[in-house]
Structure 1
Amino acid sequence: MTSLLRTSSVLATALALAACTARPAPGDTAATAADAAQALFARPAADALPGGKTTVFSNGRNAFSLPAANLSDAERTRFVVGNSFFKRNWVQAPASTTARDGLGPHFLARSCGGCHVQDGRAQPPDFHNPLAPQPFAGLLLRLSVPGTDAHGGPKHEPVYGDQFNTMGIHGVQGEGEVHLSYERIEGQYADGTPYTLEKPRYHLRNLAYGPMDPDVMVSPRIAPQVIGLGLLEAIPEAEILANAQAQAASTGPIKGQPNYVWDAYAERMVLGRFGWKANVGSLAHQTAGAFLGDIGITSSRFPQQTCTPAQKDCLAAPNGNAKGQQGVEIEDYALDDVIFYQSTLAPAARRNAQDEGVLRGEALFHAAQCAQCHRPSYRTGTALFPRLSSPALSGQDITPYTDLLLHDMGEALADGRPDFAANGRQWRTPPLWGIGLLPAVNDHQRLLHDGRARGVAEAILWHGGEAEAAREQFRHLPAPDRAALVQFVESL
């Protein structure tokens, strides 16, 4: 009864806000009271546990590092083993530590946890001097040239491959230096309150293997938090496609599209769910691919190093050999446990869900039609690869706030680089769960695909393209309402 009364109260607020605060963009219709009512009526109460029975209760430094609450004892043991391989450093081969040797030859980090610190989100270097080389662990630069590979994915830059790795083991050069500068963009809310956004500019210097292809395309990608990934993988494909169908049939600018990508585990094209452009189809592929690309660790699915013909020192570097599986540097059992670990990292329970400001912000969020892309809720099915996940993740009512689709986010956020079906202006809708815990876990709240936004409000202000109307509604809100909407998002 309390939940019903609470939902009715939020619904009434949404109806009023939809009528009073919605501001249509040119050529678009405003959110209607019926739209807001339908959005709220179709989702669980705002105090629902984000991960269903997997949800954990933690709001401190370790909030992203806990196993799903409903795992068995045997699964918790497997979780701990996977955690050890996720967070411990790899070393250069040959080494006495044969279970963890094989780092590089090129790499960005020495462990998965080197980018996903505390299983959380990385941030770009907070420097404003473009002349100083800057550490870039957690922010990789994807590289490609026009055309596609054998599976329809991006075609690698011929000298530097598919990503720019700034570090190398002893005897191998790092590929070069990345320098970062910012362009300041001044703006103001409708009430006259000024704001400043910072647009990053990336400069690749001291290239170790000569110039890049003149048509190279560069796309920055920040390492996101890794909570709830197994739950996202267990969302039925039909639900994600239904999101696209519903948006296509509706009026207004929101028209999300699915991406289809090659998966090394399924050995076929599958629906993209992970990565900033929905350019990865499974957590297994994402994990094995990151071991190779970011740390230089080969596996049975990715057995070849990424050295290009121009990188002679890289080609000559020694490889590590997993003790029980010659020819690769991480054995299948260890890689499987890392995948299981990431699959079963739990979302944390919401904070202050009953706060008056949070409830008002929730209603404003729906009235601005933010939930069209950030769909609140799903019921999970089964994992794509059950042996790499847990049955405890199935049948859960979850609230990740994403449609897992690609959306045109406008020219200001465009990277100009295609990725399978994604074009240079499209990005996947990121889940919102856990955003409010980033300051506690990672001591920052840098958001969007490259970490340019310094908080929720700036992230909204960067929205364009399909989301321009929602951004303008936010920009026209009075300051207390803007604060309430941000407060709601930070409660997720």
Structure 2
Amino acid sequence: MRSLLFSSLLLVLACGDSLSPHEGEAYPGGTTTNVFLFGAQAYSQPAANLSSERRAPFFSGNAFFNQAWVTAPSSTTARDGLGPLFNAAACSTCHFRDGRGAPPDEGGTLTTVLVRLSIGNDERGAPIPDPIYGGQLQPFATAGVLGEARPDVQWREVAGTYGDGTAYTLRRPILTLADPAYGTFDPAIRTGMRAAPHMIGMGLLEAIDRAQLEAWADPEDADGDGIHGELQILADGSVGRFGWKAEQPTVRHQTAGAFHGDLGLTTSLFPEPPCTDAQTECRAAPTGGDPEVDDEMLDRVAFYAATLAPPARNAADDPEVLRGRELFGRFGCESCHVPSVTTGDFEAIPELSNQRIWPYTDLLLHDMG
């Protein structure tokens, strides 16, 4: 196997000068790609093919995405209802400039990282929330309510060696949960840190036909390549696409789930506050309305999230980049990280239809051990 990889590397290096970008590879979002603005605002641009009229709800959604919510009751009734338990006061706290979150400093606050909780999996493989603390740790709370616990992260260095003898060092997070406010944690509790992902291209992923995902799926490894990718089929029969374990089927559901779990805000999709039965003060706390985020606001934020444009790719024709792409394919990475696909007819947002995109994903679940 090592000799095969070495031979492949020699072949790629020998042929590197003749490689060229694939057609459309420099435009990862098809005609939605942002080719106008780069730098700090590169992830915050509307899809390039949105008309002026269609950009109005985009910028309205952007305003809601960035606004900070306050505790109810408040004179600012349009944005009160934060919590009672929450992780952040605004969407943009975790998704700063629509980018991904950063790992916390040792002993620092988990500003752009949250902690999932479970006590095992059900018969469908879905996480079972803790009966007292729920499925997500919320360390912050409004007045009169206690935050659930104080997460702390320490980093442990893990040393290793590449096949050619080069040494490397990785960092492994060690998470502890101190000062639980509602009783000790279940001894069987499982925790998982989740860094906020970037926001670009979400609508394009939703626009991929279900039939295409089914064609990629191979849960029994029928083709014998050692990969068992499978669809996340949700309780209502829809396909999960969003979240680290594909828990949500649409950008709208993912948006409502973030409002609920991260900011503590109710919507028509999640009408109950993020409190378990054991958290009586949380359940009795004032609300900012029923729901706190109405459907118009939810739809605007979901539209904003769905139509954020992927930026044009840098250095797509750089020889070193092209050699890396060739190795990426030869070593089998593309078996799971499918480079390119064409979206289907997407009635909800026609601008995302029939776009050749480069997402490097198959949207399937893979058991990583």
Please give the TM-score of this superposition, normalised by the length of structure 1.
0.69
Q: State the Cα distance separating 1:167 from its structure 2 match.
A: 0.3
Larger helix percent: 1
Counterpart Cα distance in 1 of 2:53 and 2:260: 29
Q: Which residue of 1 aligns with 2:117?
A: 143
Deviations 1:413-446 (A, max 9, x none): xxxxxxxxxxxxxxxxxxxxxxxxxxxxxxxxxx
Answer yes or no: is 1:240 the counterpart of 2:213.
Answer: yes
Give the conservation status (yes or no) of the 8 Å contact 2:114–2:194: yes
Counterpart Cα distance in 2 of 1:400 and 1:175: 36
Counterpart Cα distance in 2 of 1:46 and 1:198: 36
Please give the TM-score of this superposition, normalised by the length of structure 2.
0.91
> SS at the partner of 2:82?
coil
Letter in 1 for 2:302: I
Q: State the Cα distance separating 1:59 from its structure 2 match.
A: 3.0
Q: State the Cα distance separating 1:246 from its structure 2 match.
A: 10
Counterpart Cα distance in 1 of 2:126 and 2:227: 25
Counterpart Cα distance in 2 of 1:306 and 1:376: 38
Q: State the Cα distance separating 1:248 from its structure 2 match.
A: 2.8
Q: Which residue of 2 aligns with 1:310?
A: 278
Picking from 53, 56, 63, the partner of 2:42 is: 63
Q: Which residue of 2 aligns with 1:100?
A: 79
Q: Which residue of 1 aligns with 2:252?
A: 284
Q: State the Cα distance separating 1:312 from its structure 2 match.
A: 2.4
Identity %: 47
Give the conservation status (yes or no) of the 8 Å contact 1:47–1:354: no
Structure 2: gaps spanning 5 or more residues: 13-18
Q: Which residue of 2 aligns with 1:121?
A: 100
Deviations 1:335-372 (A, max 9, x none): 10000000000111111111111111111111111111
> SS at the partner of 2:39?
coil
Give the conservation status (yes or no) of the 8 Å contact 2:9–2:327: no
Higher relative contact order by CA 8 Å / sep ≥ 6: 1 or 2? 2
Q: Which residue of 2 aligns with 1:399?
A: 358
Q: Which residue of 1 aligns with 2:15?
A: none
Counterpart Cα distance in 1 of 2:87 and 2:321: 39
Letter in 2 for 1:51: G
Counterpart Cα distance in 1 of 2:61 and 2:319: 41
Q: 1:47 to 1:18 in 2, by over 3 A?
A: farther
Q: State the Cα distance separating 1:152 from its structure 2 match.
A: 7.1
Q: 1:154 to 1:18 in 2, by over 3 A?
A: closer
Counterpart Cα distance in 1 of 2:322 and 2:281: 58
The 5 Å alignment of 1:184-333 reads 184-245=157-218, 248-262=221-235, 268-321=236-289, 327-333=290-296
Counterpart Cα distance in 2 of 1:318 and 1:245: 48
| RMSD value, Cα | 2.4
Moved more, 305-314 or 163-172: 305-314
Structure 1: gaps spanning 5 or more residues: 1-16, 24-31, 34-39, 263-267, 322-326, 411-492
Letter in 2 for 1:391: P
Counterpart Cα distance in 1 of 2:133 and 2:166: 45
Moved segments of 4+, more than 6 Å: none
Q: Which residue of 2 aligns with 1:21?
A: 8
Q: Which residue of 1 aligns with 2:59?
A: 80
Q: 1:221 to 1:319 in 2, by over 3 A?
A: same
Letter in 1 for 2:54: E
Give the conservation status (yes or no) of the 8 Å contact 2:219–2:230: no
Counterpart Cα distance in 2 of 1:309 and 1:401: 41
Counterpart Cα distance in 2 of 1:399 and 1:232: 10
Counterpart Cα distance in 2 of 1:135 and 1:340: 30
